[in-house]
Amino acid sequence: MGKIAFLFAGQGAQAVGMSRDICEQSPAARRVRDLADEETLRVWLGGTAEELTRTINTQPCVFLAELACAEALTEAGVAPQAVAGFSLGELAAAAYAGILPYDRAFALTQERARLMQRCAEENPGAMLAALRIAPDALAEAVAAVPDAWRVNFNSPEQTVVAARETSVAALEREIAARGGKTVRLAVGGAFHSPLMAAATRGLAAYLADEPINEPRIPVYTNLTAEPYADIRAELAAQASSPVLWQKTIENMRRDGFDTFIEVGPGRVLSGLVQKIDKSLKTASVRDAATLEQTIKQINEQIAE
């Protein structure tokens, strides 16, 4: 078999209690859970869905849930040769690769959540998945609307757009007029757009004082779709820059990766990988049952 990569998802698939049973059965996952402060733990494992959808809560909770899954899988003997994370997931991927100790990476995630929540409150916006529309037509639709941007290049079939709240209805109309369809995402702002510029500045200032380690395995960054070249700058810039997800998976395939394991809630990234290249193998670990399934799948691949 080729090489294995772990994928860490962003906001959108979160659920109260995510990864709970993995933390109950895995000592490695429990060590991640124990990083949580009292309020994060309450929202993550026992809060309301409404509380969990607030950016300031979502990001720390998803970060810990993903790392818990990754550590449980590693504890079971499945380790990757590289990692990538989508949006927020890039922080979990970077932490897993050793760029920051987990407690410092968790603090960074809380700071990112705070900064992006503030940007979202000061500049309300939304993100929409644009479907069934050609790239050129989508570019035309976005160009016709003020304060709208293409931000997440997910697969040949899906691009996500972001817009200021006052521009969302016009953007939906422009896309529909060109035969496309939009689905509003369960996120709290126009992430990865210029409306998050203040968050990037805040993250750059925060990271300037953080000791950064070289990653023990490559981390493919959203900004360039290549392994990190300038960790501080790329981690800060990704909050207000597009996510080049399709290109990331294509570059990892180029570099010999053929098995992608999504760790954390949902199966969004697994689905995108299949849309990018159906020949690639995917798996996901989000609870105890899928952990067991994935371990079995990887062992069978190794035995082939």
Amino acid (one-letter) located at 178: R
Expressed as residue numbers, the domain containing 157 is 125-184
Nearest to 152 by CA among 49, 23, 10: 10
Average pLDDT over residues 20-49: 96
Catalytic residues: 87, 192
Place of tokens 């990331």: 248
Residues 88 and 133 in one domain: no
Boundary of a domain, candidates 140, 166, 184 = 184
The CA-CA-CA angle for residues 209, 213, 219, to 5°, reads: 115
Residues 6+ apart with CB under 8 A from 136: none
Residues 95 and 165 in one domain: no
Say how many domains are in the chain. 2
Residues 168 and 243 in one domain: no
Residues 117 and 129 in one domain: no
Write down the pTM of the prediction. Answer: 0.95
**Residue 1: pLDDT over 80:** no
Average pLDDT over residues 124-135: 96
Boundary of a domain, candidates 163, 184, 205 = 184
Amino acid (one-letter) located at 60: P
Residues 130 and 156 in one domain: yes
Residues 110 and 245 in one domain: yes
Structure tokens at 24: 């109950």
Cα–Cα dist 261/78, whole Å: 10
Task: Identify the band that residue 285 occupies on the pLDDT scale cut at 50, 70 and 90.
Answer: very high
Supply the pLDDT for residue 45: 94
**Which helix H or strand E contains 50, and what residues bound it?**
helix 49-52
Residues 228 and 284 in one domain: yes
Percent of the chain exceeding pLDDT 70 equals 99
The dihedral of CA 89, 54, 131, 138: what is its sign? negative
CATH of the domain at 146: 3.30.70.250
Q: What is the pLDDT of residues 2-30, one digit of tens each?
A: 899 999 998 888 999 999 999 999 999 99
